[in-house]
Amino acid sequence: YRFIETDCIVGNCHKIPQKKFLKELLSVDEITASLQNMCALIKDVKPTVHIIFTVSPVRHLKDGFVENSQSKAHLISAIHQLIGSLSGVEVYFPSYEIMMDDLREYRFYNFDMIHPNETAINYIWEQFQHVWIDEKTIPIQKDVATIQRGLAHKPFNPNSDQHQQFLIDLNQKVKVLEKNHNIKF
């Protein structure tokens, strides 16, 4: 989308009225140049970074079936064009392709038939973990997930002794992870 007020290409912002944007399809070369610029900015901050690109498996059908396919095709082509021209620390993870080809049945979609359901999300995450996540970090990920669930928990009685003890225990788990793995919550 192009934000009319600034004439800049942006991701659509749902907090700003749609009439303030122009929809346009960027060329593969325009997308590639933008991604190259983004990579350069990231590497200015962290030169040793490895960048993993992916394309969202969510279809944006409000623009139309054909427009969605064309937009995704341009993005995928641009990413591969970029990866082919860089130093080899940028790679592509095929989350879109997994959803469209491997999980193509509607049982892997939410009721809106657009968004992947929890089963699909977990399957794609497992594929990503298998390729890109060191097995040594899996127990740490489980500990982080436990803490995140605890932080998101909505207590029935927030003032109860039981809940207060739960918060103390959760805080202790946070401190251990922060100390042992340099993780900040």
Domain assignment present for residue 100? The answer is no
Are 83 and 92 spatial neighbours (Cβ–Cβ below 8 Å)? yes
Average of per-residue pLDDT across 113-141: 94
Into how many domains does the chain fold? 1
What residues are paired with 109 via a beta bridge? 116
Distance between CA atoms of residues 3 and 13, nearest Å:
9
pLDDT at 12: 67
Which helix (H) or strand (E) segment is 8 a member of?
strand 8-9
Total Cβ atoms within 10 A of residue 140: 14
Helix (H) or strand (E) holding 90: strand 90-92
Of residues 4, 93, 75, the one with CA closest to residue 35? 75
Q: Say if CB 56 and CB 96 are below 8 A apart.
A: yes
CA 47 to centroid of chain Cα atoms: 22
Average pLDDT score, the chain: 93
Span 35-54, average pLDDT: 94
Q: How far apart are CA 20 and CA 16, in angstroms?
A: 7
- Asked whether residue 173 is domain-assigned, the answer is yes
**Residue 152 located in a structural domain:** yes
Mean pLDDT across 176-180 = 93
The average pLDDT across 82-109 equals: 92
Percentage of residues in the chain having pLDDT higher than 90: 79
Whether 23 is in a domain gets the answer: no
Structural domain contains residue 11 = no
Domain boundaries, position 142: 136-185
Q: What is the pLDDT of residue 103?
A: 96
Query: Is residue 146 a part of any domain in this protein?
Result: yes
What per-residue confidence (pLDDT) applies to 16?
A: 87
In a domain, 144, yes or no: yes
**What token pair was written down for 108?**
């892997």
* CA 134/CA 137 separation, integer angstroms: 6
Token pair belonging to 89? 């620390």
Confidence band of 173 (pLDDT split at 50, 70, 90): very high
Q: What is the pLDDT of residue 175?
A: 95
Q: How many CB atoms lie within 10 A of CB 79?
A: 20
pLDDT, tens digit, for every residue of 61-81?
888 999 999 999 999 999 999
Q: From CA 68, how far away is CA 61, in angstroms rounded?
A: 6
Among residues 49, 131, 134, the alpha carbon closest in space to that of 86 is found at 49
Q: Is residue 13 part of a domain?
A: no
Q: What is the pLDDT of residue 71?
A: 95
Residue 53 has pLDDT above 80, yes or no: yes
Mean pLDDT of 50-69: 93
Nearest to 92 by CA among 101, 106, 103, 82: 82
